[in-house]
Amino acid sequence: MDSPPNSPPDGPAVIEEAPREPILTLPAALTAYIILLAAIHLRVLLPPDIENWIIDVFGFIPKRYDSSLLNLDIPGGTGAKVWTFVTYSLLHANLTHLGFNVLWLLPFGSALARRFGTVRFFLFLAVTAAAGALAHLLTHEHAVAPMIGASASVSGAMAAAIRFAFVRGSFLSFSRADADTAAKVPALPLSRALREGRVVAFLAVWFGVNIIFGIGALGIETEGASVAWQAHIGGFFAGLMLFALFDPVPRLRGDAADASSRDISTRI
């Protein structure tokens, strides 16, 4: 008996499955950065004298720049006065310190790496690290203790990301697109972004937490180390103000910016 005209042929049916999205996808640049931080942290397995030498040579020490101390003996020499503005950000005190920075970097750094691309992303991290070191130097000019940690770069990434994070379709909006599209939405001009409720609220909470750190209301000092909150603020300001220099996505202008602004406002 022949099959009906529109019936499927005899034999097992083949069911095509929809492609599955990975549970967690990270851009290659961010993945490489996290692996780099983890690999460098393996220095804790070295003998203490070698580990201390690494921190002295690559950590940021404000006293290194004190010209009044002619007999100051800090490893690294003149070169360390240059490279430590960035290299300090690749060192961490312990796994908790490293994990905390990576945790905050995952959402903001992921969006930024997708938006900037590898070269811009790494250059941006270096610039915000240097800005954090400069802020620390200006407020701790006689400090001997090394400053280490990626917090200034993480703060810079957070600041840069909020320039577009709340725009419709971006990763913190209520109508988010896929990760790549969400990272490429046009950013609002800085002057307009600073008038948006959710951006202002984010800034208030972020600065409030850092001020609390600064006055010591949150006791998070461990192993003789304290939070370099001035470096956080330096990196944050650099990320907020220098974002446009790195951003390859054209800005929203005129009526488009107004429309996007109204969209954000109606969704608060």
In a domain, 18, yes or no: no
What would the pLDDT profile of 7-27 be if each residue is shown by its tens digit?
555 555 444 443 444 435 789
- Whether 109 is in a domain gets the answer yes
- Count of CB atoms situated within 10 Å of the CB of 257: 19
Enclosing domain of residue 43: 28-266
Number of folded domains that form the chain? 1
pLDDT digits (tens, 9 = 90+) for 41-93: 999 999 999 999 999 999 999 999 887 655 667 888 889 999 999 999 999 99
Q: Which of 25-29, 130-134, 173-177, 202-206 has the lowest mean pLDDT?
A: 173-177
CATH of the domain at 171: 1.20.1540.10
Question: Do the domain assignments include residue 14?
Answer: no
Say which DSSP state 267 is in.
Answer: T
Residue 22 lies in a domain: no
229 assigned to some structural domain:
yes
177-191 residue pLDDT tens = 778 888 889 998 888
Answer whether 257's CB lies under 8 Å from 195's CB.
Answer: no
Answer yes or no: is 20 within a domain.
no
Crossing angle of the two packed helices 197-215 and 229-246, in degrees rounded to 10: 150
**pLDDT reported for residue 55:** 95
The reply to whether 240 falls in a domain is: yes
Place 247 in a pLDDT band, splitting at 50, 70 and 90: very high
Q: What is the mean pLDDT of residues 132-161?
A: 93
- Which 8-state DSSP code applies to residue 9? P
Both tokens of 243, joined, read 């974002």
| pLDDT at 10 (0 to 100) | 54
Cα–Cα distance measured from residue 58 to residue 87, given in angstroms and rounded to the nearest whole number: 6
Q: Please state, in angstroms and as integers, the Cα–Cα distance from residue 254 to each residue in 61, 124, 189, 191, 263, following that order.
A: 46, 28, 10, 13, 15
Q: Note the pTM of the prediction, 2 decimals.
A: 0.80
Q: Which two tokens stand for residue 145?
A: 């203790």
**Interval 109-122: pLDDT, tens:** 999 999 999 999 99
Reduced to 3 states, what is the DSSP secondary structure of residue 171? coil
User: What pLDDT is recorded for position 222?
Assistant: 46
Mean pLDDT of the chain: 82
According to the model, what pLDDT value does residue 20 have? Answer: 42
Q: Which amino acid is at 198?
A: R
Q: How far apart are CA 191 and CA 240, in angstroms?
A: 11
Alpha-helix residue ranges (DSSP H) falling in the chain = 28-41, 48-58, 77-87, 95-116, 118-139, 151-161, 179-182, 190-193, 197-215, 229-246, 254-266
At 197-245, the pLDDT tens digits run: 889 999 999 888 877 766 654 444 445 456 788 899 999 999 999 999 9
Give the N- to C-terminal CA distance of the chain in Å, as an integer: 65
Q: In angstroms, how far apart are the furthest CA atoms of the chain?
A: 103
Rounded percentage of the chain residues whose pLDDT exceeds 70: 77
Structure tokens at 4: 């009906």
Backbone angles phi, psi at 34, to 5 degrees: -65, -40
Residue 2 confidence (pLDDT):
54
Q: Count CB-CB contacts under 10 A for residue 256.
A: 12
Query: Which pLDDT does position 214 carry in this prediction?
Result: 65
